[in-house]
């Protein structure tokens, strides 16, 4: 199986990408490549940060294909927050649980007579030897909950119900999430580029 380096330290992302691509690609993240270091995510957009991760990661893995994912949750009534700051919403070293507490507190300040519309967004960038080969985006629309529902998934999953469902990503199975998530959609758009390099 050909190797695809996934430039992430988030094992949950790797699990999802491996479940989606795993029969064709050997998906290996930074745990298997401790020598690869990524530049700081200084961009203002998902795309800028995904490019930073893919390009810097690929410089540390000469000749290999490197994929990066920058993603997050956008809540319309919060002006798109937490957005690109999703991983650091409650502070630079915040845990996912602390970020969820902050999100619930911010939503609780809003007028309580509306649905809190939002979406997960993911930008995927494929690079090799410091050059961007392809960029894709995917998103999944839904709404936010005031209280967590379920313990599955990661990050903000337990606070987000995708359109067309009545359960959060914290309750829905990984198989269901991997059919409709922002990450699955960005990867589906990347598929042709990946297939052409098999």
Residues forming the active site: 70
Using DSSP bridges, classify how beta strands 116-128 and 131-144 pair: parallel, antiparallel or unpaired: antiparallel
CB of 88 to ligand ITT, least distance (A): 8
Q: Which is nearer to ligand ITT, 124 or 194 (CB)?
A: 124
Which residue shows structure tokens 């380096």?
Answer: 5
Using the rule CB under 6 A, which residue among 33, 47, 59, 120 binds ligand ITT? 120
Residue 53: which of 37, 74, 35 has the closest Cα? 37
Residue 193, classed as helix, strand or coil, is helix
E runs forming strands in the chain = 3-6, 26-29, 66-75, 116-128, 131-144, 160-162
Using the rule CB under 6 A, which residue among 56, 58, 86, 136 binds ligand ITT? 86
HSE at residue 101, side-chain half, CA atoms within 13 A, is 7
Which residue shows structure tokens 């930074």?
Answer: 30
User: Cis (ω within 30 of 0) for the bond into 82?
Assistant: yes
CB of 82 to ligand ITT, least distance (A): 8
Q: Which is nearer to ligand ITT, 25 or 156 (CB)?
A: 156
Using the rule CB under 6 A, which residue among 57, 138, 142, 155 binds ligand ITT? 155
Q: Which is nearer to ligand ITT, 47 or 70 (CB)?
A: 70
8 binds ligand ITT (CB under 6 A): yes
CB of 178 to ligand ITT, least distance (A): 10
Listed ranges 4-12, 101-109, 124-132, 187-195: which one lies at the site for ligand ITT (CB under 6 A): 4-12
154 binds ligand ITT (CB under 6 A): yes
| Dist. CA 69–CA 99, nearest whole Å | 19
Q: Which is nearer to ligand ITT, 133 or 142 (CB)?
A: 142
């Amino acid at each position: 199986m050909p190797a695809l380096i996934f430039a992430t330290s988030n094992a949950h992302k790797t699990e999802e990408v491996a479940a989606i691509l795993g029969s064709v690609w050997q998906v290996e993240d930074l745990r298997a490549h401790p020598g690869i270091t990524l530049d700081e995510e200084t961009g203002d957009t998902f795309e800028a940060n995904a490019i930073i991760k893919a390009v810097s990661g690929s410089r540390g893995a000469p000749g290999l294909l490197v994929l990066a994912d920058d993603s997050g949750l956008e809540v319309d009534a919060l002006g798109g927050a937490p957005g690109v700051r999703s991983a650091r919403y409650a502070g630079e070293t915040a845990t996912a649980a602390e970020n969820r507490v902050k999100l619930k507190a911010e939503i609780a300040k809003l007028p309580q007579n509306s649905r809190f519309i939002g979406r997960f967004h993911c930008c995927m960038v494929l690079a090799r030897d410091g050059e961007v080969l392809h960029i894709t985006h995917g998103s999944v629309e839904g709404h936010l909950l005031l209280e967590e529902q379920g313990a599955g998934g990661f990050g903000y999953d337990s606070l987000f119900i995708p359109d067309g469902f009545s359960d959060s990503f914290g309750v829905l199975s990984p198989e269901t999430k991997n059919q409709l998530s922002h990450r699955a959609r960005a990867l589906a758009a990347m598929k042709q580029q990946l297939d052409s390099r098999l």
